[in-house]
Chain A
């Protein structure tokens, strides 16, 4: 073994590795290689004697705080937080069901006095009164006998009347009585917050042209 080969192995030897008999014999015969070996052995010894440093103890508390902060941000809401939300949803659903179930209805007089400024118009696109009319809003209710309504359509003030060639659509909907009064319809009710069921004649442009009142539902409270 020569010095170059020995130097390739010397560090492994100094780190506690095995060494061949040839290398050992070379170290004994070569002063320079022996010194190198002693130097590396001393280094290994010093490295082993290094005390194990400890991290500052307060670091753990700091990191735990950060961990808890991040967990609070990421954590989904606890079930007990959702309870009031669920109660609110149930109450809202109950209120809506109660409202749509069977509201007390008030029959409106058989004929609504037409305001003088509003001209009566003939409901051209509407089907004949003796046939059931198509109703746009289908509701899952008990099938009822088609109700014949003899009330005429009343033109909504300040709107263009439906032209003879124009096609229209009748939609049954609930309208706030207050809005109808604001439009000039003379509706006699003590409850301004009530809703009126009405057939609304809608032109091709999507605008309401005329209204036919059916009934007024007063608020249940």
Chain B
């Protein structure tokens, strides 16, 4: 609370502390959701710039700052996705047409598979599996029922397992 008050009063050190405490989670979430390091960095920057300009928007009584920032990240990602959906860059067309690289690491393969999941499943995997949030926290963040999170996670994991198994079969 004191840190937040100091941040709102314009204390540079307070802002640095908040950034250092929360930016890893924001960046990870953005990276897993976009699958692109540069885009994740841009989204992280957007989230904290938004926080700087709307410092009064966060109400501590409604939850932790970390969860609030993940909610902001999610909104910014959704807006970016809806904007991006209007255009199909040439790079993406080429990427989807090209065959998957054989020498990519297992981690890259998994990241790619996660990034290819439908958004609602991706969110469930990122929050529950990678960010290790509880079902309750994820449901609060995604603004849906706990059972919905659970079913989305199950469905997402089924899809991921199938995809990874298929790739494994191809590579053998």
Contacts and interface: CB of A to CB of B under 8 A. Distances in A.
A67 B10 CA distance: 8
Interface in B1-36: 10, 12, 15-16, 19-20, 23-24, 27-28, 31
Given A50-B107, A55-B44, A42 B164 contact: yes
Contacts of B95: none
B58 to A, nearest CB: 15
Given A43-B157, A52-B28, A63 B48 contact: yes
Nearest to B163: A43
A9 to B, nearest CB: 10
What is the interface residue range for chain B against chain A?
Answer: 20 to 34
A47 B37 contact: no
Interface residues of A, number: 31
B41 interface: yes
A53 B28 contact: yes
Contacts of A32: none
A150 interface: no
A68 B107 contact: no
A101 interface: no
Given A43-B160, A67-B52, A53 B10 contact: no
B23 A66 contact: no
A32 to B, nearest CB: 13
Contacts of A49: 106-107
A46 interface: yes
A11 B164 CA distance: 16
For A40, A52, A59, A67, which residue has the most chain B Cβ atoms within 10 angstroms? A67
A50 B111 contact: yes
A64 B12 contact: yes
A66 B165 CA distance: 46
Contacts of A52: 24, 28
B53 interface: yes
B157 A40 contact: yes
9 contacts: A11-B157, A46-B164, A50-B130, A54-B24, A55-B27, A60-B19, A60-B23, A63-B19, A67-B12
Shortest 10 CB-CB distances between A and B: which pairs?
A55-B27, A71-B10, A39-B161, A63-B48, A67-B15, A46-B110, A53-B31, A56-B41, A67-B52, A11-B154
Given A40-B161, A55-B41, 11 more contacts: A39-B162, A42-B164, A46-B164, A47-B129, A49-B106, A51-B107, A55-B40, A63-B48, A64-B12, A70-B52, A75-B10
Interface of A: 11, 14-15, 36, 39-40, 42-44, 46-47, 49-56, 59-60, 62-64, 66-68, 70-71, 74-75
